[in-house]
Amino acid sequence: MKASHLFVVDADVLQASGTSERPPAPECLRTLNTILTVCHRVAVSPAIQKQWNEHASQAARRWWRQMLVRRKVVPLAAEDVEKCIAPGGAAAGLQRSIDRHFGEGDERDESLRDVLLVTAAVAAQAAILSNDRKARRRFRTVAQTCAALRTVEWSNPCEDADEVVPWLERGAPMEKGRQLGCDEPDT
């Protein structure tokens, strides 16, 4: 039996996972269905659930219902996510690291908008699945000064180099190249 891993799935994957044959829909839908059929689970905070509710395609909504029926959803309490960025929490220096790297401006604002993914991943000890290349690049930069992010894995279902579906089918073994703290450049 393959190992079960926990994932935080960005709303952009659910939004893109429609029934169209044009990318990124097929890749995103295959990714979601692989999570469902292999023994993986998803972690969902209230903030992520809100984004999912606003952006999920009909295909993603069907997937979500099947995940719930199969009890493959791990709810994260908002308090638990907040604890990880509070003083003494696993990602206590996250805000400071974002400010240090991006100061004031668009990159800082975008990072703060996407922080719900990394805080949920740290709180749940989960990997991230997201199509957002820019966010991945930004959080790789932040991981240089925020130790809690260094081992968080981030994979993009639409990146050929990430080979997400085969990786999920193999049980999603830890791969250094997927970690935010990895020195290798983004593909």
Q: For residue 73, what are the β-bridge partners?
A: 42
pLDDT tens profile 132-173: 999 999 999 989 888 889 999 999 998 877 899 999 999 999
Per-residue confidence band for 81, with pLDDT thresholds at 50, 70 and 90? confident
pLDDT at 187 (0 to 100)? 47
Q: In the CATH scheme, what architecture does the domain 6-178 have?
A: 3-Layer(aba) Sandwich (3.40)
> Rounded mean pLDDT of the chain?
88
- Per DSSP, 175 falls in state -
Distance of alpha carbon 46 from alpha carbon 51, whole angstroms: 9
pLDDT at 50 (0 to 100)? 94
Per-residue confidence band for 74, with pLDDT thresholds at 50, 70 and 90? very high
Distance of alpha carbon 11 from alpha carbon 174, whole angstroms: 23
Per-residue confidence band for 100, with pLDDT thresholds at 50, 70 and 90? confident
Q: Quick one: what percent of the chain has pLDDT higher than 70?
A: 93
Domain ranges of the chain: 6-178
pLDDT tens profile 23-72: 677 899 999 999 999 989 999 999 999 999 999 999 999 999 999 999 99
pLDDT at 183 (0 to 100)? 76
Q: Is the pLDDT assigned to residue 79 strictly greater than 80? A: yes
Per-residue confidence band for 90, with pLDDT thresholds at 50, 70 and 90? low
Residue 9, H or E segment: strand 6-9
